[in-house]
Chain A
Amino acid sequence: MPHRQSLSALNRMLATGGISSTEITTHFLDRIEQNQQLNAFVSVDREQTLAHAQQADHSRRNERNSNLRGLPVALKDIFCTQDLLTSCGSRILSNFVSPYDATVVEHLDKDGFIVLGKTNMDEFAMGSSNESSYFGPVLNPWNTARVPGGSSGGSAAAVSARLAPAAIGTDTGGSIRQPAAFCGLTGLKPSYGRISRYGMVAYASSLDQAGPITQSAEDAALLLQTMAGFDSRDSTSLDTAVPDYLSALNTGLENVRLGIPKEFLDPSIDAEVLSAIETALEEFEKLGAKLVDIELPNSSAGIAAYYVIAPAEASSNLSKFDGVRYGHRTAEFSDLLDMYEKSRAEGFGDEVKRRILIGTYALSAGYYDAYYLKAQKVRRIIANDFSQAFKQCDLIAGPTTPSTAFPLGENLDDPVSMYLNDVFTVPVNLAGLPAISLPVGFDQSGLPIGLQLIGPYLKEANILSAAHSYQKVTDWHQRIPGDYE
């Protein structure tokens, strides 16, 4: 059955003619239809997607260079697409059709990938549980009373339940890695600037980065290869050559120094998570890695800095949603100000409003220095901590999240404890580094546990090969939730 195969395996099957894109795509579209209870997708167009698959099969027969052609993937609803709505999990964009495709979508299309549908997400990528979506929460396929994580919750749930062989997400403070950890998947957040942000609805521009959510590091390498690269339409995109990630996968772990920050093995972390991480680290040692104790002394300030910088940028980024040119406009209003206020009040959910308020406050005259500037200083200090640490080690390892997937609704009334979910992922975004979360076990209730590997800037190949080495000798990444086997 195609859904038991990884993206890479499907690619090989397509190449040998063992299966067609139409067969694969039909199978996944059927599964999406059969599993709507997960609420993983917000837009699917079966006819159109099948037409693309048929086209891909046709091209494959007639082209010499047809690698990847016809592989379906799910796309977070934050990427602008001409073919499907781009709602970003928000009422304010619930009717929005983009007249252009995001660069990531162009890259996928150019390499022959087929978009299965757009996945649910926290509204404007603000959330760690996928409960802030206008289209309702996404359920965790491992336990539908649990959250899938966020903000790329729909993407993670879709891959976890094998409604798609792989998905694309975005990560501003952990939005790829945390849901990957909660759903037993491999989630890669590349270095800031590695993948173009053009056409990705901005949440916090200096932190946002697209990346793959997959079943394995090999699949992640396959997608990163397609997604990465300079884009002249994104001034923060990096104009350096993209390495061959797939061929670097088998570099191995021999003599790789794995830095273990003592701050990430805090006793407040769930004991089962800690134990799984320790077991995994032993496995890494067996594969030749050397464990090194390191310090990231200021990483605990990451959350505080993040929740100033990200909302500050968001408060400005979301100003364009004013009901004037597109998106939701209130039905009745007395004047311009009334139109603005009502359209935005109706269009945005609570978490988005909370962050707009926080950000507006942090940038206000009289508070700018104390909040925004201070947070930027903390950001530089945290980035510097990582630079220091990478003098002693090649990669950094630790838990992705302090706990496994929490129950739906648990943190809804307590934003701060929700925010603390991102304690290990946020510093990575602040420093612009690449990091991956990979599954390394389950807790006693059967919920997946993720380990995070952080690399120096632009060393995606190194973290991918480390994760791949581990995945060659373990099978956590191949586990499928019982109901979806």
Chain B
Amino acid sequence: MTHWESVIGLEVHVQLQTQSKIFSGASTHYGADPNTQACAVDIALPGILPVMNRTAVQMAATFGLATGATINHRSVFARKNYFYPDLPKGYQISQYEIPIVSGGKINIGEGDTLKQIRITRAHLEEDAGKSLHDGLGEMSGIDLNRAGTPLLEVVSEPDMRSPAEAIAYLRKIHSLVRYLKICDGNMQEGSFRCDANISIRVEGDSELGIRTELKNINSFRFIERALNHEIQRQIDLIEDGGQVVQETRLYDPDTDQTRPMRGKEEAHDYRYFPDPDLPPLVIEDAEVEYLRSSLPELPDARCDRFIDAYQLRRSDAQQLTADRGIADYFEETVREAGGNSKIAANWVTGDLMAALNRDSLPIEQSRVSPISLGRLICRINDQSISGTIAKDIFSDLWDNGGDVDQIIEARGLKQISDSAELEQVVEKILSKFSEQADQVRQGQGKVLGFLVGQVMKETGGKANPKAVNEILSRKLSP
């Protein structure tokens, strides 16, 4: 049986989170009423001219620096000419022959599976508007709010050999752009989009097979399915004696199918030429060095530091550093929790992430602040509350907000460490479960846990388990 190898390259469209558009002063804010954020430049009125948004340039260069790429001191904007109603000028301004960023690399995997994925280039371009078809009867509508939104298109080499690698790469890019604060990474709103180039070949071959381009795979959930589906389609096609046709295909998540895309992509001659309205984009060494010195700590470095400084397992550190917001949250929690990094890591990767996922909230909208979580951890640490009670308080904080200490106070959740009080409860339990008490006396240490549990139950979880253990051990010592 033939062993097939898939070859995947990705084109990621990163929407740069500038305040205004790439060539105009209109706002890039998402979700406004149609055409309320399209100025004269965006709707391509006669006589308008583009003016470069310098922040977009700096964001692109920052991305290049963070991936170890070359920042081209002189890059050129070209016009990509085609007619489409959501493309007001009849051309898209994009970098073609000379992009701002050339070369670069992203590491995926770790240890034995560590692999470098090469980035061919990253170039600046403007986004198009959107066509609207719902609720307009026979007509189609055009919303130009998105027209002119700055995009950084990151093109990889065909270095990925499986959908899993493609996803790992994509997650790395996603994490990186959020670290660099150049993109909000919101895939639902289209801030982070991906097209994939896929081909297959017999394992061991050096030649690339004929590729298809898969568009519209804009959710991590669908990517693996879409890629797998397309790879299998190509394998089936070739094994049935057919040939892959170079074409653009759309993935439809509803049917889990890919289908050829028709329309503007049909063998189009875009007649690229340098845009005479925009002089070559020049970025001087001094600006590049300034941007380099302004780079934040990057995910890989932060992960290493977390392992080192917080004594975390690599898997925990990776999970905590994949997202800058979560990493920031974690570090703030640790600070507030007096350095209890391991407990903090457990809480963040455990209860906090579960709650965020359950409510589909980004870390920035967490309903429990890192300060609250840090205090909660402090209360566990100073034995004011038990871990079990802490989980209860966390839920309370998540649902109703409030202050950790006030909740403990108001709900009377403070841990009972008072020996006299605990002694009484222990006596009560020992008389109720005399049989089990005898078993412990006879050396069946395991049963001690049962008795501890009963004391905890009796106190509504408030008893200090350590103290209970001590009292029980003392009383039941042979």
Which A residues lie at the B interface, using CB under 8 A? 79-80, 86, 88, 93, 96, 98-100, 102, 197-202, 204-206, 232-236, 312-313, 315-316, 318-322, 324-326, 336, 340, 360, 363-365, 368, 372
Interchain CB contact under 8 A, B142 and A324: yes
Per the bound structure, the CA–CA distance linking A236 and B43 in Å amounts to 21
- B85: chain A residues at CB < 8 Å are 322, 324, 336
Contact with A along B27-41 (1 / 0, CB 8 A): 000000000000010
The 8 listed contacts between A and B (C-beta, < 8 Å) are A99-B40, A197-B49, A198-B49, A199-B48, A236-B279, A316-B90, A316-B271, A319-B91
Apart from A79-B47, A325-B142, list 17 A-B contacts with CB within 8 A: A96-B46, A198-B48, A202-B47, A202-B277, A205-B277, A234-B49, A235-B51, A316-B79, A316-B90, A319-B90, A320-B46, A320-B90, A324-B142, A325-B44, A363-B81, A364-B269, A365-B269
Per the bound structure, the CA–CA distance linking A319 and B50 in Å amounts to 16
Interchain CB contact under 8 A, A80 and B81: no
Per the bound structure, the CA–CA distance linking A96 and B47 in Å amounts to 12
- B271: chain A residues at CB < 8 Å are 315-316, 360, 363-365, 368
Per DSSP, are chain B's interface residues mostly helix, strand or loop, or mixed? loop
Q: Which residue of B lies closest to A363 (CB)?
A: B271
Q: Which residue of A lies closest to B86 (CB)?
A: A324
Tell me whether A201 and B81 are in contact in the complex, defined as CB-CB below 8 angstroms, given that A235-B277, A319-B89 are known contacts. no
Shortest CB–CB separation between residue B354 and chain A, in angstroms?
A: 49
Per the bound structure, the CA–CA distance linking A232 and B54 in Å amounts to 13
Is residue B208 contacting chain A, with contact meaning CB distance below 8 A? no
Is residue B461 contacting chain A, with contact meaning CB distance below 8 A? no
Interchain CB contact under 8 A, A235 and B46: no
List of 3 A-B pairs having minimum Cβ-Cβ separation, nearest first: A319-B90, A206-B276, A363-B271
Q: Which residue of B lies closest to A206 (CB)?
A: B276
Interchain CB contact under 8 A, B46 and A93: yes
Shortest CB–CB separation between residue A319 and chain B, in angstroms?
A: 2
Question: Which of chain B's residues 11-68 have a Cβ closer than 8 Å to chain A?
Answer: 40, 43-52
Question: Which of chain B's residues 250-301 have a Cβ closer than 8 Å to chain A?
Answer: 269, 271-273, 276-279
- A326: chain B residues at CB < 8 Å are 45
Per the bound structure, the CA–CA distance linking A141 and B399 in Å amounts to 84
- B450: chain A residues at CB < 8 Å are none
Shortest CB–CB separation between residue A408 and chain B, in angstroms?
A: 28
Contact with A along B73-110 (1 / 0, CB 8 A): 00000010101010011110000000000000000000
- A86: chain B residues at CB < 8 Å are 46-47
- A324: chain B residues at CB < 8 Å are 85, 88, 142
Interchain CB contact under 8 A, A320 and B40: no
Tell me whether A319 and B81 are in contact in the complex, defined as CB-CB below 8 angstroms, given that A99-B40, A205-B277, A235-B277 are known contacts. yes
- A199: chain B residues at CB < 8 Å are 47-48
Per the bound structure, the CA–CA distance linking A420 and B40 in Å amounts to 37
Q: Which residue of B lies closest to A313 (CB)?
A: B276
Interchain CB contact under 8 A, A322 and B52: no
Q: Which of A204, A325, A336, A368 contacts B273 (CB 8 A)?
A: A368
- B50: chain A residues at CB < 8 Å are 235
Tell me whether A319 and B45 are in contact in the complex, defined as CB-CB below 8 angstroms, given that A235-B51, A325-B88 are known contacts. no
- B277: chain A residues at CB < 8 Å are 202, 205, 235-236
Interchain CB contact under 8 A, B90 and A198: no
Shortest CB–CB separation between residue B355 and chain A, in angstroms?
A: 47
Q: Which residue of A lies closest to B142 (CB)?
A: A324
Interchain CB contact under 8 A, B47 and A201: yes
- A206: chain B residues at CB < 8 Å are 276
Interchain CB contact under 8 A, A322 and B273: no
Q: Which residue of B lies closest to A86 (CB)?
A: B46
Per the bound structure, the CA–CA distance linking A85 and B30 in Å amounts to 34
Q: Which of B43, B81, B83, B278 contacts A325 (CB 8 A)?
A: B43
- A79: chain B residues at CB < 8 Å are 47
Count of chain B residues with Cβ under 8 Å from any Cβ of A?
28
Per the bound structure, the CA–CA distance linking A86 and B40 in Å amounts to 15
Shortest CB–CB separation between residue A53 and chain B, in angstroms?
A: 26
- A197: chain B residues at CB < 8 Å are 47, 49
Per the bound structure, the CA–CA distance linking A373 and B337 in Å amounts to 66
Per the bound structure, the CA–CA distance linking A318 and B44 in Å amounts to 11
- A316: chain B residues at CB < 8 Å are 79, 81, 90-91, 271, 273
Interchain CB contact under 8 A, A98 and B90: no
Interchain CB contact under 8 A, A98 and B81: no
Interchain CB contact under 8 A, A98 and B45: yes
Interchain CB contact under 8 A, A201 and B79: no
- A318: chain B residues at CB < 8 Å are 90
Which B residues lie at the A interface, using CB under 8 A? 40, 43-52, 79, 81, 83, 85, 88-91, 142, 269, 271-273, 276-279
Per DSSP, are chain A's interface residues mostly helix, strand or loop, or mixed? loop
- A98: chain B residues at CB < 8 Å are 45-47
Question: Which among A197, A318, A322, A372 has the greatest number of chain B C-beta atoms within 10 A?
Answer: A322
Interchain CB contact under 8 A, A322 and B83: yes
Interchain CB contact under 8 A, B273 and A99: no
- B279: chain A residues at CB < 8 Å are 235-236
- B45: chain A residues at CB < 8 Å are 80, 98-100, 326
Interchain CB contact under 8 A, B88 and A320: yes
- B49: chain A residues at CB < 8 Å are 197-198, 233-236
- B51: chain A residues at CB < 8 Å are 232-235
Per the bound structure, the CA–CA distance linking A99 and B47 in Å amounts to 11
Q: Which residue of B lies closest to A96 (CB)?
A: B46
Per the bound structure, the CA–CA distance linking A318 and B81 in Å amounts to 11
- A202: chain B residues at CB < 8 Å are 46-47, 277
Q: Which residue of B lies closest to A320 (CB)?
A: B44
Shortest CB–CB separation between residue A186 and chain B, in angstroms?
A: 26
Interchain CB contact under 8 A, A198 and B46: no
- A363: chain B residues at CB < 8 Å are 81, 271-273
Interchain CB contact under 8 A, A80 and B47: yes
Shortest CB–CB separation between residue A339 and chain B, in angstroms?
A: 9
Interchain CB contact under 8 A, A198 and B276: no
Interchain CB contact under 8 A, A200 and B47: yes
Q: Which residue of A lies closest to B50 (CB)?
A: A235
Interchain CB contact under 8 A, B89 and A320: yes
Interchain CB contact under 8 A, A201 and B83: no
Per the bound structure, the CA–CA distance linking A233 and B48 in Å amounts to 8
Per the bound structure, the CA–CA distance linking A97 and B162 in Å amounts to 56
- A364: chain B residues at CB < 8 Å are 269, 271
Tell me whether A340 and B273 are in contact in the complex, defined as CB-CB below 8 angstroms, given that A86-B46, A102-B47, A320-B88 are known contacts. no
Shortest CB–CB separation between residue A22 and chain B, in angstroms?
A: 31
Shortest CB–CB separation between residue A294 and chain B, in angstroms?
A: 29
Shortest CB–CB separation between residue A213 and chain B, in angstroms?
A: 20
- B273: chain A residues at CB < 8 Å are 312-313, 316, 363, 368, 372
- A319: chain B residues at CB < 8 Å are 81, 83, 89-91
Question: Which among A79, A316, A318, A340 has the greatest number of chain B C-beta atoms within 10 A?
Answer: A316
Per the bound structure, the CA–CA distance linking A98 and B40 in Å amounts to 10
Per the bound structure, the CA–CA distance linking A90 and B399 in Å amounts to 65
Per the bound structure, the CA–CA distance linking A204 and B44 in Å amounts to 16
Per the bound structure, the CA–CA distance linking A40 and B222 in Å amounts to 63
Q: Which residue of B lies closest to A325 (CB)?
A: B43
Q: Which residue of A lies closest to B81 (CB)?
A: A316
Shortest CB–CB separation between residue A378 and chain B, in angstroms?
A: 16
Per the bound structure, the CA–CA distance linking A79 and B40 in Å amounts to 15
Per the bound structure, the CA–CA distance linking A205 and B276 in Å amounts to 6
Question: Which among A96, A205, A324 has the greatest number of chain B C-beta atoms within 10 A?
Answer: A324
Q: Which of B44, B83, B88 contacts A340 (CB 8 A)?
A: B83
- A201: chain B residues at CB < 8 Å are 46-47
Per the bound structure, the CA–CA distance linking A320 and B88 in Å amounts to 6
Q: Which residue of A lies closest to B77 (CB)?
A: A235
- A96: chain B residues at CB < 8 Å are 46
Shortest CB–CB separation between residue B85 and chain A, in angstroms?
A: 5
- A365: chain B residues at CB < 8 Å are 269, 271
- A88: chain B residues at CB < 8 Å are 46
Interchain CB contact under 8 A, B83 and A198: no
Per the bound structure, the CA–CA distance linking A197 and B50 in Å amounts to 11
